[in-house]
């Protein structure tokens, strides 16, 4: 898994502070921003976030490049509707040797891992066969009309792979660019950093939080699962680790690529 912020709103703290101050001020934005020092911005944001005036948070956004994650994860990710997504297409990108994500529990069990990898190999073989069958079928009428065979096969490749891709598993590795504003990110971290979230999207959310904390530590100082800033909302389904979670996210500085064993790294299919 690779997560990197590739762009974000300039001066996120001041942008939000200026937007919020405008709601309570008689003067214009230019005068407001001129008077915003680092100290006054921090003081105002602390006050703002204490009484949950959330709409100003929507004026700042972060764009992440995410790689080495599964389609299982992105199916969950895109359910966060107040965001923008651009994902690698399986219609236009022919996967001659697809990569896949092995869940940790399967990785640790040799018998399960063997079954899993064999299934991935069969998926690749079936995909390759389907592509060849469909390309041949779709190119035949064009060749009959006099088109060069190589050109005909090339021209029908996309329409062939868009049907062949149906054989790929949820484990298939994908890449996606995601843009969320601060308000959406805060909600995302609340539900997806929780121990009850699925393991892969939980790791993604934690790494995204680590990234934004480096850029805007004040805005994301108290972010993490709901239990970081209040009682656990999960009732009988609680993990019972609220104290550990508060400590973990208070000191969130580790990088999941190095300090956490990457048991779920994408593996490249070998033909």
User: Catalytic residue positions?
Assistant: 192
Let me know: does 160 contact 92? Beta carbons within 8 Å.
no
* Rounded Cα gap, residues 11 and 17, in angstroms: 10
Maximum distance among all alpha carbons in the chain? Answer: 75
* Rounded Cα gap, residues 182 and 180, in angstroms: 7
Q: Which of 232, 253, 137 is nearest to 190 (CA)?
A: 232
Length of the chain: 271
* Rounded Cα gap, residues 94 and 168, in angstroms: 12
List the structure tokens of 122.
Answer: 């069969």
Per the listing, tokens 């001659």 go with: 96
Let me know: does 227 contact 240? Beta carbons within 8 Å.
no
For residue 175, give the 3-state DSSP assignment: strand
Pairing of strands 2-8, 99-101: unpaired
């Amino acid at each position: 898994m690779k997560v990197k912020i590739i762009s974000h709103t300039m001066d996120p703290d001041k942008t939000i502070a200026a937007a919020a101050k405008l709601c309570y001020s008689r003067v214009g934005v230019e005068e407001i921003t001129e008077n915003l020092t680092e100290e006054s911005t921090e003081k105002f944001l602390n006050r703002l976030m204490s009484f949950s005036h959330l709409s100003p948070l929507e004026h700042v956004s972060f764009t992440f490049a995410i790689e080495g994650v599964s389609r299982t994860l992105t199916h969950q990710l895109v359910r966060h509707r107040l965001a923008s997504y651009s994902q690698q297409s399986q219609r236009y990108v022919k996967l001659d040797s697809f990569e896949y994500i092995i869940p940790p529990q399967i990785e640790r069990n040799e018998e399960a891992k063997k079954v899993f990898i064999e299934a991935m190999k069969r998926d690749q073989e079936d995909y390759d066969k389907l592509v060849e069958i469909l390309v041949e079928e779709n190119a035949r009428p064009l060749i009959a009309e006099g088109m060069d065979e190589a050109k005909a096969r090339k021209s029908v490749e996309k329409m062939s792979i868009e049907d062949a891709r149906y054989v790929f598993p949820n484990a298939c590795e994908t890449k996606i660019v995601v843009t969320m504003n601060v308000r959406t990110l805060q909600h995302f971290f609340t539900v997806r950093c929780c121990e009850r979230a699925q393991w892969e999207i939980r790791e993604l959310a934690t790494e995204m939080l680590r990234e934004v904390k480096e850029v805007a530590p004040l805005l994301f100082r108290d972010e993490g699962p709901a239990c970081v800033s209040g009682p656990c909302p999960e009732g009988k389904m609680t993990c019972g680790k609220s104290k550990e979670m508060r400590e973990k996210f208070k000191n969130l500085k580790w990088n999941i690529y190095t300090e956490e064993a990457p048991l779920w790294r994408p593996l490249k299919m070998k033909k």
